[in-house]
Amino acid sequence: MAVPLAFFGLFFAYPVAAIVGRGLKTDEGWQFGRFAEVLARPDIVDVLWFTTWQAFASTLLTLLIALPAAYVFARFEFPGKQLLRAVVTVPFVLPTVVVGTAFLALLGRGGLLDELVGVRLDTTVWAILLAHVFFNYAVVVRTVGGLWAQLDPRQEEAARVLGAGRFTAWRRVTLPALAPAVAAAALMVFLFTFSSFGVVLILGGPAYSTLEVEVYRQTAQLLDLPTAAVLTMVQFATIGAILAVHAWTVRKRETALRLVDPGRTTHRPRGWAQRTLLGGVLLTVALLIVAPLGVLVERSFDTPDGYGLGYYRALQDAGAGGGTFLVAPLEAIWNSLQYALAATAIALVIGGLAAAALTRRGGRFVRGFDALLMLPLGVSAVTVGFGFLITLDEPPLDLRTSWILVPLAQALVGVPFVVRTMLPVLRAVDGRLREAAAVLGASPLRAWREVDLPLVRRALLIAAGFAFAVSLGEFGATVFIARADRPTLPVAVARLLGRAGELNYGQAMALSTILMLVCAVSLLLLERLRPDKTSGEF
C-alpha cells in the first residue's frame, strides 16, 4: 500500500496539484471565482455537453458490439483465436493520426462505404463513435472475456438442472458474477472516450471538441493556466462521480466466485446458434478492426511502381542518411520496446501491490485510493507532462531530462488497467482459502503465493498485455518527454507524417505497420507465457 501510494503521490498527485495550483493561485490567494467564470462560458458548456454524451454513446455502442465477442473468446475454441485476440488489441497502440487516416479511407469521401452505398460518415459523430469502438473493443473483450473464461459453466448448468430456463440461469448465475468485470470495462471505456483527444480532432473536424482537447489548447497553445486548471478540476469531478457510482455497483455485486482453469470451459461451437454467433463476431472484427488496419498495410506496400517493399527499404536507408530527424526503424522499435517493458514492469508492481491492498482492506480511505488509481486515465497528458516540468526540477528528483520519465508517465496509464483487471479476480478469490492456508501455518506472503497467485496469474498476464500495449502506443506524454535521440515508434511516425513528400508518407505507413506487428507479436508471446492448462493445485 505504501509503495503505490508514494508512487502516485510523487508522480501524479503532486505534479497535477502543482500545475492546477499554478493556474488557480495568484498573489492575492486562491481564485475560486474562476470556476463560475469559466463554466458560464457558452463555448465551454458546449464542450462539456458534447464530451459527456459522446462518451455515454461510445461506451454503450462498444459494450453492445464487444460483449458477444467477449463471450465467444471466453467460451469457444476456434482456429486462430490467439492471433485474433492479439489483433483486436493492436488498435490500442496505434497513433490516432494513423487510425484517423484509415477511418477516413473507409468512411470518408471516395471511401469503401461511399463507393458501395454512397454514404459518408466523416465529420459526423458516427465516425467518432465507430473509431471509439475500434479503439476500445479489446478493453471489453479482454477484461470481461478474461473473467468469463474462468467462470465455472457447471454452476449455470446446475441452475438449469434445478429447473431454471436458459435465460434465467444466465441472469441469476452468470450475470451477477460477470457484473464487476462488465462494470470495470464500461468504466474504462467511458474514461477513455470521455478524455478522447486525437479521434475527436481528426474525425470530428474542428467543430467538435472534448474537454481534453480544450485542456490541451488552453495549456499547450494559449498558456491560459487558470482556464486549464478549472477544466482539469471539472474533469476530475466528473470522473470522481463516475467512480463513485462504479464502486457502489461493484460493492453490491461482488461475491466470491468459483474460478476454474479457462482451458476447461471452452469448447468448439455447437449447433447453428453458436456457429452464427461466432460468424457474426468474426464478421464484426473483420469489418471494424481488420479492415481499417488492412488499409494501412495496403498503403505501406503501395509504392508508385506497384506493390513492393520500397518504403520499408527506405526506412533502412534513412538511418544511414544522417540527420537527427530520422532514426533507423530498428532503433525506434528497440527504444519503444525498452520503454514499454520498463513501464509494464512498473505498472505491474505498483498495480499489483495496489490491487492486493485493495482486496485485503476496506473502509472509506481504501475506496478513495481505488478512485485515485483511476484518475490518470481521465487526466490529460499535457497536464501531467507540464506538471512534471514544474515539480520534478530539483535534485534528487530532477528527472525532466531523464529517460525514466517516459516509462513513469506510461506506467501511470498502465496501472489502472492492472488494478481493474486484477481486482475482480482477486476479490473473487474465496477468503477462506487464504484463512485455511494461514491456519496451516503459511506466512501471508506464502499464502499469497500459493493461493492467490495461481488464480490471478492469468489476470496478471492480461493486465501486463494491456500495460504493455498502452505503453507501446502512448504518444501524448512521450512526445513532451522523449529525448530527440531516442524517439519511440509513434513519435517517429508522427515526425514522418509531419513532412510533405511521397517517401515520408509511405514510410509513416510502413512504420505504423511495423508498430502493429511488434504489438501483435509481443502480445502473442505474452499469451504463450500462460501457465500450462493442467494446473489444478486446488
Partner 1 sequence: MSTTKKIAGVALAAALGVTTLSACGGGDTKDKPAGVSDAPKSKTVTLVSHDSFNVTDTVLKEFEQQSGYTVKVLKSGDAGAALNQEILTKGSPRGDVFFGVDNTLLSRALDNGIFTPYEAKGLAEVKPEYVLDKEHRVTPIDSGDICVNYDKAYFAEKKIAPPQTLDDLIKPEYKNLLVTENAATSSPGLGFLLASVGKYGEDGWKDYWSKLKANGVEVVDGWEQAYNERFSGSAGGKKAKGDRPLVVSYASSPPVEVLYGEPQPTEAPTGVSTGTCFRQIEFAGLLKGAKNEEGGKALVDFLVSKKFQEDMPLQMFVNPVTKDAVLPELFTKHGVVVEKPEDVAPETIAKNREQWVKAWTALVVK
Q: List binders of partner 1 among 198-227 (CB under 8 A).
A: 201-202, 205-207, 217, 219-223
Out of 53, 56, 77, 110, point to the residue binding partner 1 (CB under 8 A): 110
Instruction: Enumerate residues 455-474 that contact partner 1 by CB under 8 A.
Output: 457, 460
Site string for partner 1, 429-458 (x = CB under 8 A): --------------------x---x---x-
Distances (CA, A) of 53 to 48, 100, 145, 242, 368: 9, 21, 27, 14, 26
- Cα Rg of the chain (Å, integer): 24
Please tell me whether the peptide bond between 396 and the residue prior to it is cis, using omega within 30 degrees of 0. Answer: yes
Residue 346 near partner 1 by CB under 8 A: yes
Residue 281 in grid coordinates: 463476431
Residue 479 near partner 1 by CB under 8 A: yes
Rounded-to-integer distance, Cα 100 and Cα 114, Å: 16
Residue 143 CB, shortest distance to partner 1, in Å, is 21
Residue 55 CB, shortest distance to partner 1, in Å, is 20
Residue 382 in grid coordinates: 499535457
Residue 482 near partner 1 by CB under 8 A: yes
Residue 182 in grid coordinates: 462488465
CB closer to partner 1 out of 273 and 500: 500
The residues near 420 (Cβ < 8 Å, ≥ 6 apart) are: 143, 184, 187, 188, 374
CB closer to partner 1 out of 180 and 204: 204
| 163 phi and psi angles, rounded to 5 deg | 110, 0
Residue 457 CB, shortest distance to partner 1, in Å, is 7
Out of 72, 250, 348, 426, point to the residue binding partner 1 (CB under 8 A): 348
CB closer to partner 1 out of 80 and 395: 395
Q: Closest Cα to residue 373, out of 196, 240, 212, 178?
A: 240
CB 389 within 8 A of CB 14: no
Residue 501 near partner 1 by CB under 8 A: yes
Residues contacting partner 1: total by CB under 8 A: 86
Residue 28 near partner 1 by CB under 8 A: no
Out of 283, 330, 390, 521, point to the residue binding partner 1 (CB under 8 A): 390
Strand partners, 267: 76
Say how many CA atoms lie within 13 Å of 452 toward its Cβ: 26
Give ∠ CA 8-379-129 in degrees, rounded to 5. 135
CB closer to partner 1 out of 139 and 405: 405
Residue 490 CB, shortest distance to partner 1, in Å, is 12
Taken in order 315, 102, 109, 194, the sign of the CA dihedral is negative
Amino acid at 538: F
CB closer to partner 1 out of 494 and 515: 494
Strand partners, 25: 30
CB closer to partner 1 out of 26 and 168: 26
Q: Closest Cα to residue 130, out of 174, 52, 66?
A: 66
Site string for partner 1, 303-342 (x = CB under 8 A): xx-----x---x-------xxxx----------------x
Residue 34 near partner 1 by CB under 8 A: no
Site string for partner 1, 50-79 (x = CB under 8 A): ------------------------------
Instruction: Enumerate residues 285-304 that contact partner 1 by CB under 8 A.
Output: 299, 302-304
Rounded-to-integer distance, Cα 462 and Cα 467, Å: 9
Residue 502 near partner 1 by CB under 8 A: yes
CB closer to partner 1 out of 27 and 394: 394
Rounded-to-integer distance, Cα 373 and Cα 414, Å: 10
Q: Is 302 helix (H, G, I), strand (E, B) or coil?
A: strand
Place of cell 464487476: 180
CB closer to partner 1 out of 11 and 76: 11
Residue 393 near partner 1 by CB under 8 A: yes
